[in-house]
Structure 1
Amino acid sequence: MLREIRIRGLGVIDDAVLELSDGLNVVTGETGAGKTMVVSGLGLLLGERSDAGRVRAGADQALVEGVVEVAPDHPAAVRALEAGADVEDVLIMSRSVSAAGRSRAHVGGRTAPVGLLAELGQHLVAVHGQADQWRLQRPEQHRIVLDRFGGEPVAVATKEYADLYDALERAESELATLTAAHRERVQRLDSLTASLEEIERVDPQSGEDESLAAEAERLTHADALRAGAGEAHTALVGDEDPVEGSAPAVLDLVSAARTALGSLTEHDSRLEELDARVRELGVLAADLGGDLASYVADIDVEPGRLDEVNDRRAAVTTLLRKYGDSVDEVLAWSQAAALEAADLAGTDDRISALQQQVDDLTPRLAAAASALSECRASAARTLGERVGEELAHLAMGSARVEVVVRQHEVDDGLRLPDGRTVRRAVHGVDEVEILLAANKGATPRTVAKAASGGELSRVMLALEVVTASGDLPTFVFDEVDAGVGGAAALDVGARLKALAEQAQVIVVTHLAQVAAYADRHLVVHKQDDGQITSSGVAAVSGAEREAELARMLGGVSDSKAALQHARELLRSTAG
């Protein structure tokens, strides 16, 4: 909660520090002293639009600083930490506005965008003023107020609906995506199927393109290969029917060389080594001759084999042009295409399953929506009655509050069990509106338009008292008691005191009957040196507080009758 607010150079306030306590904090002061500047300063601290016209005359800037005591797990502390702020039990926020209109914000010792102040403010303070647009100016906030009041029954029904809503949204989204792409999916599947059938007909084998190319090359030059190998064989081992005058074979020449060396090797070891090499040459020549003979025998061409190889190469080449640079790439493409085709073929099954899921979830969502609407309608009746009772204690006894829960019927929506087709949303099918008839016989209208400034503040006070749950730690009311006096003013004070049992409350008031309930009483006092008027803030207690209440009651602070009345007022509101 707010522990301290410092305001400097704002309006008539030169430099003032408001030290706040738990419970009910009341701010009073003479007309023109600057009470409203307290609320204005707080508004700046919470991210409201800056106005250079608020900067005090002669000052360079207006500055508002706030010290907030906040638990480490509070949403405001968590958000501040995310923004890089320093938060250790307290969160320090500040906002400055220069006379030239430039605005700066700091959170936890770090420069921050003004928007961050507004985010934090949503978790920390609700400010209600006569000219305030408040949350109820936004229709969706009416539902939030009702749901907060509805407690666990509404929370349970809301969660059940939300879970079904999310599941149905996901199923419908995926179904719409798959259905929209149906034609493209069918075309793709047909294309993949045709390609896979083509590859299957050819049935290429890994590395086959290379082996076919090698075989075709060999078959094309078979005669030349056979002749060349035969000549080489003859040159090595000789011809079985030699022709007179033909060249001697290699083996014959090697044999002659060995004969020439054979009787001499014992005379020189070097020559013996050379003879061994000649012998090795003969062995190699003989082996090579045998291999050439085998090659010549194998080179015989099967009739029509070359045509078969060329036909096969043509079929494989057709696949290579379409699906890859090699048979291995074609086979890899085929595997991937088969997986994709299986996935596409299974999409129809997925569509059927999703459609079944949508058909199952839709009536369940409709039933959950109806249950949630019933919970809200029950809570709405109680909320209207409770707020009406509170308003009777706030000088609005003739006012009537209705909390209306309705559904918006559409042609294409969620069909409820009662046969109506209504618009659905993540929060349900309900539109909630808080209506107010401020006077007897008046037609109820939305609360933000039906109430005057003072009435709106009191309606908001009644709502806060009735719905208080501790979600927000601080509430601020500016002139909530406008147009109220006498016993009704005491009721306003009592209601503020009741709210202060749930949260910290700061009230700017001109009524002693309200101020008498304060746990901490702050007085805005002004000083005038004849040229410049300035204001400051001081906490009062004891005789000083009695004097302030006397002033508020009778216009003077030293009247014995007013002082006695003030003491009686304090006694009547004590405890």
Structure 2
Amino acid sequence: MLRSLDIRDMLIIDRLELTLSPGLNVLTGETGAGKSILLDALGFVLGWRGRAELVREGAEQGEVVAEFDLAPGHPAFAVLAEAGLPQDDVLILRRVNAQDGRKTAWANDRRVSGEVLRQLSDTLVELHGQHDDRGLLNPRGHRQMLDAFGGLEDLVARTRVAWRDLQGARAALEEAEARLAAVREEEDFLRHAVAEMDKVAPEPGEEETLDASRRLMQAAGRIREDVARAHEALGSSGAEGLLRDAARWLEDAAGQAEGTLDVALAALDRALVELGDAEDGVARALDRLDVDPGELERVEERLFAIRALSRKHGVQPDDLPGLADDFRTKLAELDAGAGDLKSLRRGVGEAEAAYEDAADALGQARAEAAGELDTAMAAELAPLKMERATFATEISEGDAGPEGRDHVAFTVATNPGAPAGPLNRIASGGEMSRFLLALKVCLTSDAEGLTMIFDEIDRGVGGATADAVGRRLEALAEDSQVLVVTHSPQVAARAGHHWRVEKSVEGGMTLSRVTSLSEGERVDEIARMLAGDTVTDEARAAARALLSA
């Protein structure tokens, strides 16, 4: 229950302290006196999105404090616990709006975000505004209202999850099919390319080796004669023979040369060793220069085959083995694709079945809730002098979506035998207000500890009908707290607590004041609502009659 509302420097309110009570609380006053500002201030402290400019002209900041009494087990305790906030049977919300637009909020003296405020507000206050019939007229909101009435949140959440899983399974299948289709378009090319590469089987570095061998074999014919001539000059009939003769002659003379030939002999030995190495190297070169014309042809054919593949695929010769592996991978995906698609299609089928189960369960629950809502509405319409009107919740099958396949529409018939139809085609303004009031009462019937606020819900009705609306609001307030902003004297007369909102000019500044009315002051206020600016004795008598009825 909302115990008090303290407003400072908000719009045209400099300071206002409003103490509320259980039961039916009524705010009355001239149009423009500031009644809606009270609701704006309450919405501000509850984190609702509303006006951008709220700070009173000339003030540094505006502030609103709302104090709520929480009964044991109130849903607000769960929100406080989840946010790690202190829990008490009194909840004090405070929010400040600086002149630069910055907003700061506290709950029980702990800083909180606007989101936490909004979560708390869902458990504390239900606002039914004078434009709520826009939602009532929009069939897109009827399903949500029915779900709220039936408490179907868990079934809706289950259906959303099933729909998300189904969409994910379908997307995975579509992606796999597209990928496989793209591979299939180049399947012939891939198989031909892999076969071609497997036939050549190039290896990294092979092209460079083949090129060097080819150049060497091509040069062999030109250089072999010179190499052979050099080999002969180095051999036993050439340099080697002469050096060995020289060494033998010197060795014969060394015995009598008293060591003077030792250095020369050692050098000759080294020279013979180096000469032998040179002769061996030249001999090996001669062997390599013995080119088989068939081998040169084979080397050239393989080299040209590798280079042709390189040009064909636009890669370096050394990258051909990796490219072949990539082609084989794509073919493997293609070969395994049929099995993957089968598995993915099975997954889509399972997801479709899960969604169908969830949507069917939700649809059945909605059908049951629709019957209960229609019964509850019939009970609510009777005391609002609409006992001859009928309200029906029609459910038809629509397109599948995250919240099921059901299309929900509220239809009414205001007179017996008249065809039922949408509210905006059947109901008048006054009838619309009463349908809305009845529906809102049904939707909040199970909400414990909720303060219900009705902003001019009685517009468009008067006389006995307005009295019926007032009596229904009075009955609704017997077990809860109801705050009504009204221009109807019949509704105001049913209040247990009555405030008048007035606007005045003080020191050149327009200010709004709220005054708690005594019994005598209530007579004058209701008389004003009946008669206008000039309050007559007859109007006061009529006001007393309303208050005593």
Is TM > 0.5 for Structure 1 vs Structure 2?
yes
Deviates more, 1:212-221 or 1:478-487: 478-487
Structure 1 residues 314 and 257: CA distance shift in structure 2, 3 A: farther
Q: CA deviation at 1:426?
A: 1.6
Query: In the superposition, relative to structure 1, how do residues 272 and 567 fare at CA in structure 2: closer, same or farther (>3 Å)?
Result: farther
Match of 1:158 in 2: 156
Question: Counterpart of 1:372?
Answer: 362
Q: 1:264 to 1:215 in 2, by over 3 A?
A: farther
Cα distance, 1:234 vs. partner?
3.4
Q: Which moved more, 1:464-473 or 1:258-267?
A: 258-267
Which residue of structure 2 aligns with residue 283 of structure 1? Answer: 273
Equivalent residue runs for 1:494-509 within 5 Å: 494-498=475-479, 500=481, 505-509=482-486
Q: Secondary structure at the match of 1:6?
A: strand
Q: Deviations over 1:386-406 (max 9, x none)?
A: 122123234443332211111
**Aligned mates of 1:393, 1:273 — CA distance in 2:** 140
CA RMSD of aligned residues (A): 4.9
1:445 is displaced (CA, Å) by 3.5
Partner SS for 1:436? strand
- Following the alignment from structure 2 to structure 1, what is the Cα–Cα distance between the partners of residues 233 and 503? 131
Deviations 1:170-223 (A, max 9, x none): 333344445566654322222222111110111223322122112212221223
Post-superposition Cα deviations, 1:292-320, rounded to whole Å, max 9, x if no partner, equal 22332353233411111111111111122
**Secondary structure, counterpart of 2:404 in structure 1:** coil
1:304 is paired with a residue whose SS is helix
Distance 2:55 2:161 in 1: 50
Cα distance, 1:321 vs structure 2: 1.4
> Which of residues 202, 216, 219 in structure 2 aligns to 1:218?
216
Within the candidate set 495, 501, 515, 1:515 is matched to: 495
Structure 1 residues 61-140: aligned runs within 5 Å = 66-67=64-65, 74=79, 90=93, 92=95, 94=97, 105-108=101-104, 124=122, 126-140=126-140
The separation in 2 between residues aligned to 1:265 and 1:456, in whole angstroms, is 143
2:501 to 510, 524, 527: 524
Q: How many residues align?
A: 505
Per-residue deviation, residues 47-75 of structure 1 (Å, max 9, x unmatched): 4577x9x999xx67999754568979859
The question of 1:28 aligning with 2:4 is answered no
Q: What TM-score comes out, normalization by structure 2 length?
A: 0.73
Cα 1:19–1:405 shift into 2, 3 Å: same
Cα separation, partners in 2 of 1:257 and 1:93, compared to 1, 3 Å: farther
The reply on whether 1:492 has 2:488 as its aligned counterpart is no
**1: CA distance, partners of 2:242 / 2:447:** 112
Aligned pair in 2 of structure 1 residues 335, 20: CA closer, same or farther (>3 Å)? farther
1:468-523 CA-partner distances (Å, limit 9, x unpaired): 255996643112345355565233122145454xxxx532135344421x5xx654
Equivalent pair of 1:237/1:289 in contact (CA under 8 Å): yes
Q: TM-score, normalised by structure 1?
A: 0.70
Q: Do the aligned residues in 2 keep the contact of 1:438 with 1:451 (CA within 8 Å)? A: yes
The secondary structure found in structure 2 opposite 1:515 is: coil
| CA distance in structure 1 between the partners assigned to 2:13 and 2:8 by the alignment | 8
How far apart, in 2, do the equivalents of 1:486 and 1:22 lie? 22
Matched residue type, 2:376: R
Structure 1 residue runs of 5 or longer lacking an equivalent are: 79-87, 97-103, 111-115, 409-422, 570-575
C-alpha contact (below 8 Å) 1:436/1:445 kept by paired residues? yes
Match of 2:7, SS state, is strand
Q: What letter is aligned with 1:492?
A: L
Determine helix, strand or coil for the equivalent of 1:391. helix
**Corresponding residue number in structure 2 for 1:445:** 421
Which blocks of at least 5 consecutive residues in structure 2 are unaligned? 69-75, 84-90, 107-112, 529-534
The SS at the match of 1:205 is coil
| Counterpart in the other structure of 2:303 | 313
- Matching residue of 1:479: 456
Shift of 1:142: 0.8
Q: Percent identity?
A: 28
- For residues 21 and 486 of structure 1, do their structure 2 counterparts lie closer, same or farther at Cα, with a shift above 3 Å needed? closer
Deviations 1:356-397 (A, max 9, x none): 444555466445434432221111011111122123234443
